[in-house]
Amino acid sequence: MGNYTYTAKNVDYAVYVEIKGTMTLLDALNLKSSLPNLIIDGLPMHLDLSGITAIDINGLNALLTTKLKCDEKSSSLYIKTGEENPLFNLLDETKFKNQFSFRNTLVTAC
């Protein structure tokens, strides 16, 4: 177990995942391999990243990989974050912000 936790649940019309802690180094690699396994064909995936305390390029890579897998399975990926989330700084630096759809709230809380 790393410096993060995640909970996931499937609702009839979507997959909800809440991640708390860090998305760096080995934590991000673990998430990169586990998040795509949660995708269900045709159902949107909602990631609640408002509890993320740190993220690096490895964490961004995990999110991009998940986005690509969602696209392959005709699923949408939506991300929820707080205004001060460290993901925004990384997205601004890497110019990947337009790759993701952001929501202020998720339809169903995790």
pTM: 0.89
pLDDT tens-place values along the chain, 110 residues long: 468 999 999 987 999 999 999 999 999 999 999 999 999 999 999 999 999 999 999 999 999 999 999 999 999 999 998 778 999 889 989 999 889 998 876 554 44
Partner residues linked to 8 by β-bridges = 17
Angle, to 10 degrees, between the axis of helix 57-72 and the axis of helix 86-94? 80
Domains, the chain, with CATH or none? 4-103 (3.30.750.24)
* Residue-level pLDDT at 106: 56
How far apart CA 15 and CA 43 sit, in angstroms, is 7
